[in-house]
Chain A
Amino acid sequence: GAVVSQHPSRVICKSGTSVKIECRSLDFQATTMFWYRQFPKQSLMLMATSNEGSKATYEQGVEKDKFLINHASLTLSTLTVTSAHPEDSSFYICSIFLPSNYGYTFGSGTRLTVV
């Protein structure tokens, strides 16, 4: 089955710096990727839908200028958390939807800690 690779799995950064998270579809050309965020013991919250070659679609309440999404190719989408604050510390995970029996495939997530 298709695999989604997410990198890094864990990152610690200083407040005010920017962090880039990569999501790669290893054997499937994904025109659409989804970015989620999860706070401890809470549900995954959809942040944005990343569209290859066009602007991402952000969910209500998600700051576009803070969470920059780039989907420059069919196999790579990046999420950049700009000017990170401690409240941005969370678990970020990407996903793609594959047709037929593969369904939704998730990356393994990135644990971001802002200090």
Chain B
Amino acid sequence: DQQVKQNSPSLSVQEGRISILNCDYTNSMFDYFLWYKKYPAEGPTFLISISSIKDKNEDGRFTVFLNKSAKHLSLHIVPSQPGDSAVYFCAASSNTGNQFYFGTGTSLTVIP
């Protein structure tokens, strides 16, 4: 059973607008969350993370929001750029860090 879900397989956004990628999880023991970005024929690249003690983490154009009560996190990219077009994965782990659970990814296309 998928413990981390990304229900939107794809998303298209106009350049300059905001991209919002969503991720839901079911395990309340998860306390560390990551977003990865993947270009074709490459491995996923770490983008940004957040621990459960925070509800927001910002790094340049990328902001991750965590809503623990809803078991939901989202990645905001603003302004979106064509180079942001990629597949984005969210992942979660518990404090042991021994296992990571990945979502199935959302393919983002930023239209020039």
A residues bordering B, Cβ < 8 Å? 1, 3, 9-10, 34, 36, 41-46, 91, 93, 95, 98, 101-106, 108-109, 111
Contacts and interface: CB of A to CB of B under 8 A. Distances in A.
Given A34-B43, A111-B99, 12 more contacts: A36-B44, A41-B46, A44-B44, A44-B46, A101-B9, A101-B104, A103-B104, A103-B107, A104-B87, A104-B89, A105-B102, A106-B89
A107 B46 CA distance: 17
B104 A104 contact: yes
Contacts, number: 60
A110 to B, nearest CB: 9
A108 B100 contact: yes
Nearest to A37: B43
By secondary structure, the A interface counts as strand
Interface of B: 1-2, 6, 9, 36, 38, 42-46, 87, 89, 91, 97-102, 104-105, 107
Nearest to A91: B100
B100 A10 contact: no
B9 A46 contact: no
Given A43-B46, A46-B42, A103-B9, A108 B36 contact: no
B104 A109 contact: no
Contacts of A10: 98
B99 A1 contact: no
A9 B87 contact: no
A101 B102 CA distance: 15
B22 to A, nearest CB: 14
A42 B49 CA distance: 11
A3 B102 CA distance: 11
Given A46-B43, A101-B9, A1 B2 contact: yes
B42 to A, nearest CB: 7
